[in-house]
A and B are shown apart, each in its own frame.
Chain A
Amino acid sequence: MSLFGTALSWLTDPENWSGAAGIPARLLEHLAYSGITMALALAVAVPLGLWVGHTGRGSGLVVGLTGALRALPTLGLLTLFTLLLGLGLVPPIIALVLLAIPPILSGTYAGIANVSPALKDAGTAMGMTGGQVLTRVELPNALPVILGGIRNAALQVVATVTVVAYINLGGLGRYLIDGLAVRDYSRMLGSVVLVAVLALAVDAALAVAQRLSTSPGLRLASP
């Protein structure tokens, strides 16, 4: 109780809410790193997943690739790229993008590949081209699954961005690493509370998006 009390007093101390090292600034940094990472990962993984799911080509490669990427430790990549490329934003972003790609890729691929063949055939029979089947039949049907993968990735990214403070970047992890250095538990706890709340908020927002993305036609069809 008293420990959470000190975290609470750290969180409510107005001094921690202003300036370049204040909570709003760190929160913005955290969101910026996460946003850049997600944008890059989405740009790579979604088109690839759509293409593989639609054509069925290279599905073995996708399964193998996502498995191999998942086994790579993010902290290891973070330190490796930092040592190779120096400090700055690039090394952690590469490591984080590699972390975010597997869930987005496998979600997109699985979502598209699992759309009932009867639906696709119906689209083709109605005279749709391959591209039209993809955008008008497969995509709406697969959207909840695709967003599920994106939700997974976003959650992991928001949680892992905490670690980039270890290589001298900002974000909410700053308080954790600095607090650890001077054994300031109230700062560490305050920081982890902030990250947990942020993760929950991002997850909740994407859960709502996932629910809303189910096409009305599909909602009627389900019992």
Chain B
Amino acid sequence: MNWTSRNWPYVLELTGAHLVQSVLPLLLGALVAIPVARLAARNRTLRPVFVTGSSLLYTIPSLTLFVVLPLLLGTQITSVVNVIVALTIYVVAILVRSSVDAFESVDRDVLQASTAMGYRPLRRFFAVELPLAVPVLVAGLRVASVSNISMVSVGAVIGVQSLGTLFTDGLRRSILEEIVVGIALTVLLAVLLDLVLRGTGHALTRWQRAGRARTPVPRVRRGAVA
């Protein structure tokens, strides 16, 4: 553990950079993918276009995007922006498909009931559709977050700093410990982010547990009062 104890501020800095490069694309990707998916889920012509288009995006290798984006965006090749934009594209690719499934999983009867109760489309989306789609949405986000955290390190090959830098640097200088620390921290980040996403999903779907936990008691009581 010699190398680590001498270099922990550096390791910490790289961990921070890694976290930013994986979380920011996740948020940006969700902001793009969720409205697109909602549009596609209710539209027969748009649906195949968006779903096929997004899976085509995923076939572009990550290194390819890291190299092509600076030319399109006018950024430096080693800029963090390239990695963030590239990973946002992957998140969109993964999320559009799974979010279309999420919105299609929402019960039609529930939507009709809310319309009948006078919910306008926008309010119905935020108050009914989106919350009910959360479980499937979170499942998609979890897949995207794991793939992101692993892909961020590839940026190190072209010189973008992240935990991947520990791999390239460790190989160049033959420091096994540096590589092992990098792998362990990457896995740790993946696990932590997954826990956060699962926790958020849980917190946003309290009705799922509420319904299961105390079904019989309130009904009987209500019946007795009536």
Interface residues of chain A, those whose CB is within 8 Å of chain B, are 3, 67-68, 70-80, 82-84, 155, 158-160, 162-163, 166-167, 173, 176-177, 180, 185, 188-189, 192, 195-196, 199-200, 203
Q: Is B91 an interface residue (CB 8 A)?
A: no
Contact: A188 with B67, CB < 8 Å?
A: yes
Interface size on B, residues (CB 8 A): 38
Give the shortest distance, in Å, between B160 (CB) and chain A (any CB): 12
Cβ contact of A72, chosen from B150, B157, B171, B179, cutoff 8 A: B150
Contact: B150 with A83, CB < 8 Å?
A: no
Contact: B191 with A159, CB < 8 Å?
A: no
Question: What are 15 A-B contacts defined by CB distance under 8 Å?
Answer: A67-B146, A71-B150, A72-B183, A72-B187, A73-B153, A73-B182, A76-B182, A76-B186, A79-B167, A80-B167, A84-B176, A160-B61, A189-B67, A192-B61, A196-B60
Chain A interface main SS type: helix
Docked Cα-Cα span, A77 to B183, in Å, equals 8
Chain B interface main SS type: helix
Contact: A75 with B167, CB < 8 Å?
A: yes
Cβ contact of B71, chosen from A82, A180, A185, cutoff 8 A: A185
Chain B's closest residue to A77 (CB) is B183
Contact: B63 with A75, CB < 8 Å?
A: no
Q: Write out, one digit per residue, whether chain B residues 166-207 have a CB within 8 A of any chain A CB (1) or not (0).
A: 111011001010011011001100110000000000000000
Cβ contact of B62, chosen from A71, A159, A188, cutoff 8 A: A159
* A67, A70, A77, A79: most-surrounded residue (chain B CB, <10 A): A79
Docked Cα-Cα span, A37 to B154, in Å, equals 19
Task: List the A side residues contacting B63 at CB < 8 Å.
Answer: 159, 162-163, 173, 176, 192, 195
Task: List the A side residues contacting B29 at CB < 8 Å.
Answer: none
Q: Scan residues 111-158 of chain B and give those whose CB is less than 8 A from a CB of chain A.
A: 146-147, 149-150, 153-154, 156-158
Task: List the B side residues contacting A189 at CB < 8 Å.
Answer: 67-68, 71
Task: List the A side residues contacting B186 at CB < 8 Å.
Answer: 71-73, 76
A83-B174, A188-B67, A192-B64 known; A180+B158 contact, CB < 8 A? yes
A83-B179, A192-B67 known; A76+B153 contact, CB < 8 A? yes
Contact: B183 with A73, CB < 8 Å?
A: yes
Give the shortest distance, in Å, between B22 (CB) and chain A (any CB): 11
Task: List the A side residues contacting B154 at CB < 8 Å.
Answer: 74-75, 163
Interface pairs A-B: 7 shortest CB-CB: A159-B61, A71-B190, A192-B64, A79-B171, A76-B183, A79-B167, A73-B153
Docked Cα-Cα span, A73 to B179, in Å, equals 11
Docked Cα-Cα span, A166 to B67, in Å, equals 15
Chain B's closest residue to A162 (CB) is B63
Give the shortest distance, in Å, between B201 (CB) and chain A (any CB): 16
Give the shortest distance, in Å, between A30 (CB) and chain B (any CB): 11
Task: List the B side residues contacting A70 at CB < 8 Å.
Answer: 146-147, 150
Give the shortest distance, in Å, between B173 (CB) and chain A (any CB): 10
Cβ contact of B150, chosen from A3, A74, A167, cutoff 8 A: A74
Contact: A79 with B187, CB < 8 Å?
A: no
Chain A's closest residue to B152 (CB) is A73
